Amino acid sequence: MMRPVLAIALCALMPSQAVSDPPQVVAATAKPIGGAWQVTVTLRHGDTGWDHYADGWDIRTDDGTVLGHRVLAHPHVDEQPFTRSLSGVEISEHTTDLFIFAKDNLGHWTPTGFRLRLP
């Protein structure tokens, strides 16, 4: 039988996943460029390095249709919040609102999309 102190010591040596809130969308803008749109999103997340970081965001319509996905290829530990854009997004002329959802590399999505009213 393992003694409690030994069990605690072994658990402390095991790798653990970082625990953090999902990424937060703090701002977003959209502007038409040559028949498509450029969407710019500012995120905040407790990136700790390659083990846990914000790794992307989706642009969705109110019915959940994904219009675009921006991959974030590396952690932004020392750059918080940070802003990235996605160009060439096709948006119907009847669409008035977009919803931005961000995720981290552990699969945590923002629970509620950031609502962006189109100009």
- pLDDT of 76 reads 87
Query: Which of 13-22, 77-86, 94-103 has the least mean pLDDT?
Result: 13-22
For 50-75, what is each residue's pLDDT tens digit?
Answer: 999 999 999 999 999 999 999 999 98
CA distances for 15 relative to 6, 12, 35, 54, angstroms: 16, 8, 49, 20
How far is it, in rounded angstroms, from Cα 95 to Cα 33? 16
pTM of the predicted structure, to 2 decimals? 0.80
Q: Where are the domains of the chain?
A: 18-117
d(CA 102, CA 36): 22
Topology of domain 18-117, per CATH? Immunoglobulin-like (2.60.40)
Distance, in Å, from the CA atom of 52 to the CA atom of 66, rounded to the nearest integer, reads 24
Q: Which amino acid is at 63?
A: D
Q: Which two tokens stand for residue 14?
A: 């095991």
Residue 19 has pLDDT above 90, yes or no: no
- pLDDT greater than 50 at residue 42: yes
